[in-house]
């Protein structure tokens, strides 16, 4: 690795850079060649790890479902049943509508986000160094030109994609439960209203502005909260990793504390999703 790449700043920058793939005039390009590729740049490490962890979630829960029986459950079945019951209880207490989608959606969000967050506990240099060795050994790419971010939720593109999915469900549930007319009325006739028709018409632009801001703020809060907490945690792991072999005791201490953050952020994302969908499906207006 070049001398300038041994600085703390370059070390941090390397760990916080995604592996990119894009399509240019000269064909498919990777990493630094994608710096001016624009919007259509794929973060292939985020995609690979998030999809892989999603498949792992499906395999684990499918295996538990196939092995489930009415007798005394084993430890694995007990553990999976505890997670399912935990999510089911929260959905039952929080979601006040009727939908067969919400519980499976909440379970998927909680476990998938948890698994993606859990990658933060892998020693920060291990997988990037392994990727660099593979790139240099088998493909002739210098190790410092190989990037690998293994925590998908430290990529704002991933958390924003999750939040946009929830946002579309909110709109869908709002229209489904209230109808298009009812959904439009909710955006235009609240929070300010009047029995005077002329005054109500005057208030419509103000209501629309406030309700639109409140609606759009929800996916922003989902995306930025998850991203910010995991990005900050990853940055601390990177700073600890920069001190060399002496990182292990500090890594362990921070990892023990960070376990709480990993679980809590998955739980918060799940609960806010349930709350937002419950609000969207409410017929109180």
Rounded to an integer, what distance in angstroms lies between the CA atom of residue 61 and that of residue 84? 10
**Could you give the angle at the alpha carbon of 264 between the alpha carbons of 231 and 272, nearest 5°?**
95
Sequence-distant (≥ 6) Cβ neighbours of residue 53 within 8 angstroms: 112, 115, 116, 119, 152
Q: Which of the 8 DSSP states describes residue 143?
A: G
Token pair recorded at residue 169: 């469900």
CA nearest neighbour of 218 among 277, 260, 130: 277
For residues 51, 57, 63, 69, the Cα torsion angle rounded to the nearest 10 degrees is -150
| φ, ψ for residue 42, nearest 5 deg | -95, 130
Return the active site residues. 221, 225, 229
Contact between 146 and 132 under an 8 Å Cβ cutoff? The reply is yes
């Amino acid at each position: 690795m070049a001398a300038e790449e041994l600085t703390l700043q370059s070390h941090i920058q390397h760990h916080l850079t995604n592996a990119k793939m894009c399509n240019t005039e000269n064909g498919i390009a990777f990493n630094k060649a994608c710096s001016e590729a624009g919007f259509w740049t794929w973060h292939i490490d985020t995609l690979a790890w998030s999809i892989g962890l999603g498949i792992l979630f499906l395999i684990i829960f499918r295996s538990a479902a196939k092995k489930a029986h009415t007798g005394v459950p084993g430890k694995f079945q007990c553990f999976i049943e505890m997670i399912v019951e935990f999510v089911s209880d929260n959905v039952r207490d929080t979601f006040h509508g009727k939908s067969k989608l919400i519980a499976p959606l909440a379970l998927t969000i909680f476990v998938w986000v948890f698994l993606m967050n859990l990658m933060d506990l892998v020693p920060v240099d291990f997988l990037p160094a392994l990727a660099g060795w593979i790139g240099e050994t088998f493909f002739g790419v210098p190790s410092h030109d190989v990037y690998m971010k293994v925590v998908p939720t430290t990529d704002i593109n991933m958390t924003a994609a999750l939040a946009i999915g929830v946002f579309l469900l909110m709109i869908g549930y709002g229209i489904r439960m209230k109808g298009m007319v009812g959904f439009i009325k909710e955006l235009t006739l609240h929070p300010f209203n009047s029995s005077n028709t002329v005054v109500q018409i005057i208030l419509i632009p103000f209501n629309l502005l406030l309700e639109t801001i409140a609606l759009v703020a929800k996916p922003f809060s989902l995306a930025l909260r998850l991203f910010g907490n995991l990005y900050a945690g990853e940055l601390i792991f990177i700073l600890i990793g920069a001190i060399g072999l002496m990182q292990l005791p500090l890594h362990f201490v921070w990892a023990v504390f960070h376990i709480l953050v990993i679980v809590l952020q998955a739980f918060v994302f799940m609960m806010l999703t349930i709350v937002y969908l419950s609000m969207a499906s409410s017929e109180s207006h």
